[in-house]
Structure 1
Amino acid sequence: MSNDNASQARVADNHQAPLEFLSFTLGNEEYGIDIQRVQELRGYEAVTRIANAPDFMKGVMNLRGVIVPIIDLRMKFSLGTAVYDQFTVVVILNIAGQTMGIVVDSVSDVITLTQDQIKPTPEIGSTIESDFLIGLAPLEERMLILIDIQKLMSSEDMGLQLSHAI
């Protein structure tokens, strides 16, 4: 009977709590980030450009008295020229106690996945370093590319100074 209990415990461990991802598009691809990092969604509005900032750093915006750096992920991932229209969204994130925003082409929905649905990323040339990818989630006729947004936003090449270690 103790073997049976141990077996049941292993099965229970494999059925972890589902994970929720906010899905969004950049060009023709669909991406997902941990919904727990998302603070709010906003329509795109003009930002204040910072001199000598990398192209993907669109600038900063004032969000209720907080100065928020805004990163355009399409430009960061070299996915072509960004077009800002009524579908463009700024996803406001909270990472390590710091508020920042990412510009995406559009937001789709919140997708709930189990760990079993997330497949490892193959080692191929990509515009996104594999360090920043959680994996891939095949969903019916589409593929969701899951980004570790915390690792990406705290990476050295982003140039953002987070208030404390992650």
Structure 2
Amino acid sequence: MTHLLSFTVEGIACALPLAETRQVVGMVELRPEAGNRRGGAGTMNLHGRTVPVYSLRMLLGLPDRPPLPTDALIIAHPGPDCVALWVDRVKGVQESTVPLPPDGDISSSPGVLVADNGTVLIYDLSAFLAAEENGQLPLPGAVGTGGEEPSCDPGRAGAILAARARAFAQPEEEPPETSFSEILTFRLANQEYAIKTQYIREVFIIREITPVPGVPDFIAGICTVRGEIISIVDLRTLFSIPKHGLTDLNRVIVLTDGTVTFGILADYITDIGIRPTDQFSPVDPGMTPIERRYLLGATDGSVIVLDAAAILADPAMVINETRK
């Protein structure tokens, strides 16, 4: 399962692996650059660092146009260097199960493919940009639907872009002593929960769970993951979470601390992102029946952040023949 950042360019739906992105910012006034880099729209000053900006319009063979304040720049790191991708609009994060071409495949444009639903998936940004720089043809069949361009006074637009450019050119301020963690958010029994990704090995869609007699009720069964047998835990039973309405429970989030490994069931994955861990708010009484020792707090208003370390370290999670 791959998480993608989805965006549009001239009405074309596009996506990029979330792992290759750093941040999304509003469009800025671009500085000209020497040379004739294919797809090159100029450069931006990102806190004192010169970052090359690529126009996805040009790379996909679409008509060029001046930047607009409503456009976006995706700051990405396909390798050791940082680049910015100029797009029309960023839509959000989505899951993808599209199979990628094997290494060495030359039947498609390098680093990019068109999914069955028409989405242009740039699965290898380094290969895509390198191929374009070497003068290869734009992606075949990339035809825009002529997305609407918002009306904007050129003078006002230029002033907005210039002001943003000046702001991003300022040296980056030393951040306060704040710790951040990447968390995966998922839905279970009509409530959103989150877990730090440092404890998540993988996420997959499960087809079948094999029941095991004589184990605690919270063990839904076992399944095989690439030859390894792991237990599947139903958090609803473990924490006495009320079961409301119909649920899918077809996603498995594999948790591990290097010693203990098991999967937990979820209805579906909703998001993945960075959050300041020292700003988690207390969980209000009544939000969840889960004991406080298994909670880190709440974020984004109502998302309950579970303490994966505490769950993995709980002796109750270790099932052996001596347990009654």
TM-score by length of 2: 0.41
Are 1:103 and 2:103 counterparts? Answer: no
SS at match of 2:213: coil
Aligned residue for 2:296?
A: 134
Q: Deviations over 1:64-113 (max 9, x none)?
A: 1111111011222222279563x731111222333311101111111211
Aligned residue for 2:303?
A: 144
Counterparts of 1:82 and 1:65, CA distance in 2: 34
Aligned residue for 1:157?
A: 316
Counterparts of 2:217 and 2:276, CA distance in 1: 36
Counterparts of 2:296 and 2:217, CA distance in 1: 25
Are 1:118 and 2:277 counterparts? Answer: no
1:127 CA displacement: 1.8
* Runs of 4 or more consecutive aligned structure 1 residues displaced over 4 Å after TM superposition: 81-84, 122-126
Are 1:15 and 2:178 counterparts? Answer: yes
Aligned residue for 1:94?
A: 256
C-alpha RMSD of matched pairs (Å): 2.6
1:155 CA displacement: 1.3
Sequence identity, in percent?
A: 29
Amino acid of the structure 1 residue aligned with 2:309: Q
State whether residues 32 and 144 of structure 1, in contact with CA within 8 Å, keep that contact through their aligned partners in structure 2: yes
SS at match of 2:198: helix
SS at match of 2:302: strand
Counterparts of 2:202 and 2:245, CA distance in 1: 21
TM-score by length of 1: 0.75
Counterparts of 1:72 and 1:82, CA distance in 2: 16
Amino acid of the structure 2 residue aligned with 1:96: G
Counterparts of 2:189 and 2:292, CA distance in 1: 19
1:124 CA displacement: 6.2
Aligned residue for 2:124?
A: none
Counterparts of 2:318 and 2:259, CA distance in 1: 16
1:125 CA displacement: 8.7
1:154 CA displacement: 2.6
State whether residues 207 and 250 of structure 2, in contact with CA within 8 Å, keep that contact through their aligned partners in structure 1: no
Counterparts of 1:135 and 1:56, CA distance in 2: 23
Q: Deviations over 1:48-73 (max 9, x none)?
A: 21111122101111111111111011
1:12 CA displacement: 5.6
State whether residues 217 and 237 of structure 2, in contact with CA within 8 Å, keep that contact through their aligned partners in structure 1: yes
Query: Which runs of 5 or more structure 1 residues have no equivalent in the other structure?
Result: 1-10, 162-166
Aligned residue for 1:56?
A: 218
Query: Which runs of 5 or more structure 2 residues have no equivalent in the other structure?
Result: 1-173
Q: Highest Rg: 1 or 2?
A: 2
Residues 104 and 82 of structure 1: CA distance in aligned 2, closer, same or farther (over 3 Å)? farther
Counterparts of 1:60 and 1:82, CA distance in 2: 25
Q: Deviations over 1:17-65 (max 9, x none)?
A: x211100011121100011111111112222211111221011111111
